[in-house]
Amino acid sequence: MSVQYEDHSVTIFESALHQTTSTVAVTKDVIIIVDPTWLPEEIQAIQKHVNERDSGQRKYLLFTHSDFDHIIGYNAFPEAVTIASRGFAVRSGKKETIQEIKDFDDQYYIQRPYLIDYPKVDIIIDYDEQTIDIGETSVTFYLAPGHQADGVFAVINNLNVFIAGDYLSDIEFPFIHHNSEAYSRTLDKAEKIIGEKEIGLLIPGHGKATTDIKEMKDRLEDSRWYIEALRKEVSETGSYDVLQAFVDSFSFSRYLGEMHQENLQQMRKEEKKNS
């Protein structure tokens, strides 16, 4: 599994699939493992990395949201204390999510050395700025609905690291599986975090991390523009050509074009509901 970023505390692994990131942050107090995924060999590389840096710290396993690709490595770290949002813990459709993992493994003849199961959550995030302090390490959480209903942001305060889940990617525009207005409010929250927390490293769930504040802000504004353009397109007050050109500017535009069509369907559902 490739490593896309590494410093003295943080290692970001990048899967061969969807450029999905799995992050390991190590301090003298804790090891925080975020969304370990996809393939067995990739998850084994994360396990090896954790074991090599284990000097008795408490291990925490953070799930940024409940998409199956982000929970697929759950039972590879049975000793870790799990963290996720209340929505993640109580959501309906857990069996369907597990079936997605099993279908994926069946399709590609994948055998895993651990059981597939929906994560049981030990520490539930209920509100913005909920903070966990372990020794000198402090982690602050924020609810982040929009992509999914059960998303969560995390900021490792003493490292100035912002774990953004499936937001603020350089290779994806917003995928709105839950609600566009909630997504926009979550972007506002991300802007506040970047401004007030003096973020030095932004880690999206897919694509490249960045240490550049301007790049972080550009990703915010691109996401906002896309949602607003999508809304205008659906209400027939905007230009389809401009929006389509934006979608086509991304790599992997065939797949992203399908996601764009799903966003349009989601926005039409919202428009109909609000009319």
Distances (CA, A) of 196 to 125, 157, 173: 21, 11, 24
Distance CA 214, CA 155 (A): 19
Which amino acid, one-letter code, is at 37?
T
DSSP string covering 32-101: EEE---SSHHHHHHHHHHHHHT-SSPEEEEE-S---HHHHTTGGG-TTSEEEEEHHHHH-S-HHHHHHHH
pLDDT at position 48 is 97
Contact between 163 and 205 (Cβ < 8 Å):
no
Contact between 94 and 68 (Cβ < 8 Å):
no
Distances (CA, A) of 89 to 16, 53, 96, 154, 205: 28, 29, 15, 17, 20
Beta-bridge partners for 137: 134
pLDDT at position 239 is 63
pLDDT at position 67 is 97
Distance CA 165, CA 187 (A): 12
Q: Is the pLDDT of residue 214 over 80?
A: yes
pLDDT at position 253 is 85
Under CATH, which number does the domain 2-274 receive?
A: 3.60.15.10
CA 129, 132, 133, 138 torsion: positive or negative?
Answer: negative
The torsion angles phi and psi of 133, rounded to 5 degrees, stand at -115, 125
Tell me the helices (H) and strands (E) count for the chain, helix number first: 8, 12
Kindly report the pTM of this predicted structure: 0.95
Contact between 128 and 161 (Cβ < 8 Å):
no
pLDDT band at 1 (very low <50, low <70, confident <90, very high): confident
Length, in residues, of the chain: 275
Q: What is the pLDDT of residues 73-98, one digit of tens each?
A: 999 999 999 999 999 999 999 999 99
Task: Name the nearest CA neighbour of 21 among 41, 9, 5.
Answer: 5
pLDDT band at 163 (very low <50, low <70, confident <90, very high): very high
Distances (CA, A) of 28 to 25, 50, 121, 138, 236: 10, 13, 24, 12, 55
Q: Strand pairing of 30-34 and 152-156?
A: unpaired
- Mean pLDDT across 150-154: 98
- List the chain domain ranges: 2-274
pLDDT band at 245 (very low <50, low <70, confident <90, very high): confident
Burial of 4: CB neighbours in 10 Å, binned 0-12, 13-18, 19+: middle
